[in-house]
Structure 1
Amino acid sequence: MKFLPTAVLGAFAVEVDARSDDRGMFARTFDAQTFAAQGLVPVYPQCNVSQNHRRGTLRGMHYQADPRPEVKLVRAIRGRVFDVALDLRPDSPSYLTWAAVELDAARRNAFYIPAGCAHGFLTLEDDCELFYQMSEVYVPELARGVRWDDPAFAIAWPFAPSVISERDAALDSYSQERSL
């Protein structure tokens, strides 16, 4: 595996080393010892999937607050998505910076998103499915989110979403969210 740093401190694009022969392909997509050696979280007690029917579906920007912030390791297992990490850690050198990775099921790549970062994605084609490994279990009262189009972040989405939940569309801007 290769860990490629992004503009967000501690967020990495994770590329697999696929080996092919006449039988097909094999690649290791996760190894706890390799992740630990990189200083990354090696244990994920919860896994989730997100299935999305239509191109242009946006989910985000979500995170889990202290005292149980979550690391996410996200992978497309069908289709392609524009996946975004947004640094909301006030003490981070990359505070309020975002980074994006195009996750592609055919490439089998992943995005490691550190705790304290919001996460969201936009589907680039119909019928996308994502697999999330989570370092914390979901705690509903700690669930938070910020607007996907907040000018404070200026995320350069590839195009405007055509499908977004009422909840995500109604999220507060970051300055409003912080004052709560």
Structure 2
Amino acid sequence: MAFRRTELDGLVEVIRTPREDARGRFARIFDGRDLLTAGWRWPVAQVNFSETARAGTVRGLHYQVPPSGEAKLVTCVRGEIWDIAVDVRTGSPTFLSWCARTLSADRLNSILLPPGFAHGYQAMSDHVSVMYLHSTVHVPRDERGIHAEDERLGVTWPLPVGRLSERDSSFHPLGPRFTGVTA
């Protein structure tokens, strides 16, 4: 594994070089010892998997507030996504800045998000599958979200935003009083 720091403190792209032979390929998705170098210092409490049928679909932007703030390791295992993280940490010098990376099954790269980041992605191909490792279990009362087209963030999605879930559509834009979360 190799690690590429992003412009947002704590947000890291994980680069893998799969081993390939006549049978196919192999890549280690999680190695706690190696990921310590990139800043992962939490247990894996939950692993989730999502499938998205159509390109253009957006999932997110989701985060959990303390005491349930979570780190995530996100990997696209089929297709391609445009993965986005938004810094929502109170007092962060990059507060409300966002960073996006293309994650794909071909590259098997991942994004490592520490607590205090909202996360989402847009499917760039049909039939996308994504695997998420979470440092904490999902706690519905601590879940929050930001509307994907919030003007305050100014996210430039690569495709027209499509097929938001009812829940994601109901997220309100961030108001001027939003000061973030403690990570």
Global fold match (TM > 0.5)? yes
What does residue 38 of structure 2 align with? 38
Which one is further off, 153-162 or 19-28?
A: 19-28
Which one is further off, 70-79 or 158-167?
A: 158-167
What does residue 111 of structure 1 align with? 111
Q: Answer whether contact 2:10 2:39 (CA < 8 A) is retained.
A: no
Q: Answer whether contact 2:147 2:168 (CA < 8 A) is retained.
A: yes
Which contiguous aligned blocks of 4+ residues in structure 1 show a shift greater than 6 angstroms? none
- The verdict on how the C-alpha distance between 1:177 and 1:57 changes in structure 2, with shifts beyond 3 A counting, is farther
- The verdict on how the C-alpha distance between 1:27 and 1:130 changes in structure 2, with shifts beyond 3 A counting, is same
Q: Answer whether contact 1:76 1:130 (CA < 8 A) is retained.
A: yes
Q: Is 1:159 aligned to 2:159, yes or no?
A: yes
TM-score by length of 1: 0.93
What does residue 101 of structure 1 align with? 101
Give the partner amino acid of 2:27.
Answer: A
What does residue 132 of structure 1 align with? 132
Distance 1:176 1:21 in 2: 54
- The verdict on how the C-alpha distance between 1:167 and 1:39 changes in structure 2, with shifts beyond 3 A counting, is closer
- The verdict on how the C-alpha distance between 1:95 and 1:43 changes in structure 2, with shifts beyond 3 A counting, is same
Structure 1: state its 5+ residue gaps. none
Give the partner amino acid of 1:40.
Answer: W
TM-score by length of 2: 0.91
Counterpart secondary structure, 2:175: helix
Which one is further off, 135-144 or 164-173?
A: 164-173
Counterpart secondary structure, 1:175: coil
Structure 2: state its 5+ residue gaps. none
The share of aligned pairs that are identical, in percent, is 37
The number of equivalent residue pairs is 179
Q: Answer whether contact 1:65 1:142 (CA < 8 A) is retained.
A: yes
